[in-house]
Amino acid sequence: MKLTKPTVFTGSAVAIVTPMKNGEVDFDTLGKLIDWHIEQGTDAIVAVGTTGEASTLTDEEHRAVIKYAVERTAGRAPVIAGTGSNDTDYQVSLSRYACEVGADALLLVTPYYNKTTQKGLIKHFFAAADASTKPIILYNVPSRTGLNILPATYKELSKHERIVATKEACGNISQIAETIALCGGDLAIYSGNDDQITPIMSLGGLGVISVLANIMPRETHLITKYALEGNFAESAKLQIELLDLINALFVEVNPIPVKAAMAMLGLCSPEIRLPLCEPETKTVELLRSVLKRHALLKE
């Protein structure tokens, strides 16, 4: 299927955590993580998304992380800035800022809590698209927002020249297939669930925006690389090999487990912001066991 709009990236984009230290954003560690991801083959950096704890960053911190990610990446990979909100005016303002400081694309989640209708979704996203100078990737995660983008709505959204793709985390493969059938080359699809990378790419998806990549960036990239090459057997094999780790990273609300796992690996502090809190002891034990199983931690 030939896409009609420019592609932001193909492969694996990391939904990068926002490291914290003593209650503040730890920019030094964020910079080291960005450098490491590029070295490991990560294809794009998604800053201040759900995994980046955007919902508890101040506006000043949110903007600072976007600007820092753009500057640190320095053109080595696309930077996709999370600028979505349940307040349309704020989403527009933050999106304009991200464009001004050089983000390569924007990631816009559906409105949460106040939600809206499907008609309201179109108006909400078109407002940001009209204000943006960069491509937009939508983000559908109804388990968090309570709002699902329906295939027919995607069809209308895909008519806007700057709405080029979506991160699909609805979990419903049949719905995703219907969206692809309706939108064709007008909307690229990225998996928003690490346990569905290969299935979604087998339908024509271009890659993943991944939590797993925070732990295993090279392997996540390889799952997508094999799929893009049409080698779905190898892609599926690696996906299944990592399924225990993927599942472990979601036994509590993301990013609680992934930050705990990263701390075990010496990648960043486990510090998170309330209302998220430290993981249960059984979660820590599970993560330690799975990391050892994959030879990421020594016995």
* Residues annotated as part of the active site: 139, 167
Asked if the bond preceding 257 is cis, omega within 30° of 0, the reply is: no
Residues 82 and 48: beta-carbon distance below 8 Å? yes
Beta strands in the chain (DSSP E): 11-15, 20-21, 24-25, 44-47, 79-82, 105-109, 136-140, 163-168, 188-191, 207-210
Three-point CA angle 288, 207, 53, nearest 5°: 55
Distance of alpha carbon 90 from alpha carbon 159, whole angstroms: 23
- Among residues 60, 2, 81, 65, the alpha carbon closest in space to that of 30 is found at 65
User: Which residue in this structure is represented by tokens 């690229």?
Assistant: 188
Q: Tell me whether residue 294 is exposed, middle or buried, using C-beta atoms within 10 angstroms of its C-beta: 0 to 12, 13 to 18, 19 or more.
A: middle
